[in-house]
A = this chain, B = another copy of it.
């Protein structure tokens, strides 16, 4: 993985911001790499950076166009192809987090071969994985889990990396989704791995480490999501976390893309421990991260306080107020060592 920077972010014509979360995540964590966004008519997402045509992006020095929006199945819509071919013809590499391969589209493949640019399909790893072994390995690991998809697991994990490093921990973000891979430059899009190798891929992603080292592993999906729970369980078993943080969006009434209601935070804690102890009997919840963006300041403060009280665990909104209380709690349970 060697994606040239800076980036132009392609948002297509997605119907909401969640569908452009790849682009929005890159801008959140690597704004200095993102020169502009390219949007088609009807696009309802906005990364908050300048709109640019391909020609304007070329003049600004862009090297790669990131296809930073997805639909549910991860398929490339036909009406996005013209923009991608235009970017190739301008000399940009293309990087995509879609399930379908860029090179499977004949127009894109032909243009890329003609111009000699690179097509990066982040969801298609060339790595060969072994099946998971479930054996406890040295080092400490934290996993973010969720009441649903798209509730802030990646953001929380990246905020914990920043906060734990500032507090003296030896801690590394481990990306398991396409946006995380774009942000960190490495990782595995775990939902694209062949099913037999989910936990094995996570064991590869987070190998044995020094006793005081933390891998902060980006969670995916939810054990309660009928589409993706298998991915979440394989990720949990492969991560064998010592600590986990539950991520939640309090105003959502149905799980993303399906008709099912969200589970409670307590249900997520209980099932994560029940399943997670298979590969780490010491697994423990160390905090709760709530996305309160739909609430007022007063509502958010009240919810964080009441949730802290209910669960006896630090409860934060990573965006609104940071993850400090969770980092402090981890420092009490797992004091940072100087020999890590």
Residues on A facing B (Cβ under 8 Å): 72-74, 99, 130-135, 190-196, 198-200, 223-224, 226-235, 237, 257-260, 271, 274-275, 278-279
Contact = CB atoms under 8 A, between A and B. Distances in A.
A218 to B, nearest CB: 15
Interface centre among A191, A200, A229 (most CB of B within 10 A): A229
A235 B195 CA distance: 11
Contacts of A234: 195, 229-231
Contact of A260 (B134, B190, B198): B134
A228 B200 CA distance: 9
B192 A231 contact: no
A286 B221 CA distance: 31
A72 to B, nearest CB: 6
Contacts of A130: 73
A255 to B, nearest CB: 9
B227 A199 contact: yes
A227 B133 contact: yes
Contact of A195 (B72, B194, B271): B194
A318 to B, nearest CB: 25
Contacts of A134: 226-227, 258-260
Contacts of A133: 226-227, 257-259
Contacts of A74: 196
A118 B24 CA distance: 47
Given A73-B130, A260-B134, A99 B196 contact: yes
A239 to B, nearest CB: 11
A236 to B, nearest CB: 9
A196 B200 contact: no
Contacts of A227: 131-134, 196, 199-200, 237
Contact of A226 (B73, B99, B199, B257): B199
A121 to B, nearest CB: 13
A194 B194 contact: yes
B192 A194 contact: yes
Contacts of A193: 194-195
Query: Which 3 residue pairs of A and B lie closest in terms of their CB atoms, listed nearest first?
Result: A134-B226, A230-B234, A191-B196
A259 B133 CA distance: 8
A198 B230 contact: yes
Contacts of A191: 194-196
B231 A196 contact: yes
A237 B232 CA distance: 13
A135 B198 CA distance: 25
